[in-house]
Amino acid sequence: MKTPNDEKWTNKKISRRDLLKYTGIGAAGVAIGTSGLGGVMKAMGYDVFEPFADNNIANKVNFYGNHQSGITTPVQTNIYFASLDVLFSSKEELQELLQLWTPLVVRLMNGELMVNSSTNTRIPTGDTGEAEGLGASNLSITIGVGPSLFEKLGMEHLKPAELKDLPHFPKDQLQKEFTGGDLCIQACADDPQVAFHAVRNLVRAASGKVAIKWSQAGFNSFPVDGGTPRNLFSFKDGTVNPSITDEEDLNKVVWVDKGWLKGGTYLVVRKIQMHLETWDRTSLKDQEATFGRYRDSGAPFGKTKEFDDFDVEVKDSNGEYIMPDTSHVHLARKSGARMLRRSYSYASGVMSNTGVHDAGLIFISFQKDPLQFTTVQNSLGRMDKMNEYITHRGSAVFACFPGVQKGSYLGEALFKAL
């Protein structure tokens, strides 16, 4: 297969008739079939790609490495997460898509336009342009594949046993429109427009090949003196995460160590509505008892500092648990399972039928086996006092490819395993 490195971009003139022919648009302006921006540009004789190249721009996350970015990358302030459905039915087209995306992701993370500019104003621009001049903004892009993809493409024999839809959990009220997906793109950046631009343009480049099933923008705000960000309930979120610099611990908790996914991980995403109006009518004492932590300091009950270790079995002089056994932290710790959380808050206006906030948490976790998440969620069960204030609306699980070395492409190990 021709690789993105084979040719350089050259400017060519093209007639309107040829443009309509190449883009699959009829005289009435109706799309009658297209292979996406990459295919259109190649059909016109353009090569939209430069060789795989990194640069040294400021505020940049490196693309190449043993693992994909956006997993152990220091958490940025914004996310745009998209779950996609594929519109094709062959593994060859999946491979072509990932080969198409790889150099585009490199350029986006470099803070560059996705393709070089053309002087021909008679054709659509290769990049939508809204991120021009905004820099790299620490953009990271993470690509994953869902369990349904393997069934659609006749690749069931390559689907890892661990990659399957999550079970139904107590209190789940999942909405079909926010659940599942064949592929995912997680774009995180310190500028919301940069994150959105990345997803928009990758999907645009694959026009006719993929469609967005559901998406969600989110945000994090960090204290001015550093530290753990707070969720919309005002409590610190992600305190007990593994250290992103402790490779030994990450190997135990995050990175898959076998098969074509070796060096990759599993991403669990849950769209969790937080009932802010109910929470705001709850006393601070009950709020803290719900979490098992003090709101201001983030310290677990019975301790003074956020990162103090604790034993959930410790009781007071009256024989009562110091950390309530219905609290979120008590039940999560008791499960014994660990994962790397990388969650973001979201606020999407109000619910049209009730007028309450449509806001909450885009819960994202990375783990070497989705069973780690399932174990924690089952431990929370119906006892978790948090259930009074949240509703799980969306859910999906994806296998995130290992990292990419120069000269390779996203998901190459999967196709070598065919």
Give the residue among 197, 25, 22, 31 at the shortest CA–CA distance from 127: 197
> SS3 sequence, 343-364?
CEEEEEEECCCCCCEEEEEEEE
And the tokens for 261? 């996914």
Task: Determine the residue type at 199.
Answer: V
Instruction: Name the one residue in this structure whose structure tokens are 């008590």.
Output: 330
Look up residue 115 and give its amino acid. V
Tokens of 115: 């393709």
What type of residue is 118? S
pLDDT at 52: 56
pLDDT at 15: 44
Q: Which residues contact residue 357 at a Cβ distance below 8 angstroms, ignoring those fewer than 6 apart? A: 274, 276, 277, 347, 350, 351
d(CA 338, CA 22): 51
Check: CB of residue 288 under 8 Å from CB of residue 295: yes
Is residue 68 a contact partner of residue 139, using CB atoms and an 8 Å limit? no
- As a whole number of angstroms, the distance between CA 399 and CA 412 comes to 14
The rounded average pLDDT for each run of 10 residues, N- to C-terminus, in the chain (418 residues) is 39 41 39 47 45 74 97 97 98 97 96 82 90 96 98 97 95 95 98 98 96 98 91 95 96 98 98 97 98 97 96 95 96 96 96 90 98 97 95 97 96 95
- Nearest in space to 173 (alpha carbons), one of 267, 270, 84, 80: 270
Burial class (CB in 10 A: 0-12, 13-18, 19+), 89: exposed
pLDDT of residue 42: 54
Whole-number pLDDT of residue 55:
72
Q: Which residue has the tokens 């046993």?
A: 161
d(CA 411, CA 176): 28
| Max Cα–Cα distance, the chain, nearest Å | 85
Report the distance separating Cα 384 and Cα 328, nearest Å. 6
The continuous run of DSSP H or E covering 225 comes out as none
